[in-house]
Structure 1
Amino acid sequence: MVSVKFCILFITTLSCTSCLAQTTCGTNGWFGATCRYMCHCRGNTQCDRADGSCSSGCHDDWFGSACQYSKIAFTATGLSWLTDNDAATCNNEGTQPVNATLSTPVPITWIRAVVNDSAYLHEIQLNYEAKGGSTFEACTSQLTAAVDDKTVDIFCPTTDVVSQISLTGAGVARLCSLYISGGRNLALKQTTQQSSRFSTDGSPPTSWVAQNALDGKTGVGVESRTTCTHTDPQSPPGSWTVKFLKNLDVNRILLYNRQDCCSQRLVNFQLTALLAPNDRFVYNEPGGSPKIIYTVVPSPKISFPVNEVNVLTRSSDNILTLCEVVVFGENSCQDGQYGLDCERQCNCRNQTNCFIHSGGCPFGCEPGYAGVDCMECQVGRYGDDCSRICNDTCGGDNSCDRLSGACSLGCDPGYTGAFCETMCPDGTYGAGCISACSQTCATSCDYISGVCGACSSGFFGFRCQSECSTDCSAQTCNQITGACDSCEPGFYGHVCSEQCSSNCSGSDSACNRITGACESCELGVYGATCSKLCSVNCAGSGNSCDQEEGTCDEGCDEGYIGERCDVREYMSVESAESDGSGGSTEKSWGIAATVVAVVILILAVVVVVVLLIRLRKASGSTRNEPSDKGHANPGAELGSGEYSSPVTAEAQTTQKVVKNDVPVDTRYCKMNESPQGHANPEAELESGEYSSPVTAEAQTTQKVAENDAPDDTIYCTTNESLQGTNLYEKAITNQSNDYMDASTLAMATPGSETALYDKAENDSEPPEYYEMTSTMVNETNTTPKPSPRTVTASPPPGHSSGTVYSFLD
Structure 2
Amino acid sequence: MVPDVLNSTQVQNCSNCLTGCNTLTGYCEGSCTYGFFGDSCNETCVPNCFRCNRTSGACEHCKDGFYGEKCQSNCSSTCMYDCDQDGVCFGCLSEYFGPQCQYECSTNCSLGCHRDTGSCAYGCVNGLWGDFCNNSCPVNCDSSSCHQRSGSCWTCKSGFGGNQCSTKCTDEHCSLCTYDVTSCSKCLDGWYGTRCEKNCPTSHCRTLSCDKNSGKCGSCESGWFGEYCENKCIKNCDRCSDITTCDVCKSGFYGYFCQLSCPIECKDCERDGKCKTCLEGFKGRDCKCEVSECSNVTNNRCSQCKNETSWFLFEDACCPCSEHCNHTSGQEICHPENGNCITGCQEEYIGDQCFDTCSENCLKGNQSTCNYTTGVCQNGCLPGWFMPKCDFNCSYNFPHCLECKEYNYSPADHFVQCYRCGPGFYRDFQTGFCKSCYNCLNDSCDGVTGLCTDGCQDGWYSLSGVHYQCQFRCGENCLERTCNSSGGQCLNGCNYGYYSSYCQISCSSNCKNNTCDKETGNCTLGCSPGAYGYHCYSVCQSHCSVLGCDKETGRCLECKPGRYGEKCEKECSGCLLGDCDRTTGECRQHKCHPKLYGPYCNTTCVESCLICDEKSGHCSQCVTNRTGSKCEKTCGERCLHGNCVDGACADGCMNGYFGKLCSDACNSTCKSDICDFKSGICTKGCIDGWDGAFCEVNLAAKTRSGESKKSKYSTGEIILIVLGSIAGVIVIVVVSCLLHCNRSRRAENLVT
TM bucket (normalised to shorter chain) is under 0.3
TM-score after normalising by structure 2:
0.26
TM-score after normalising by structure 1:
0.24
* Higher RCO (CA < 8 A, seq sep 6+): 1
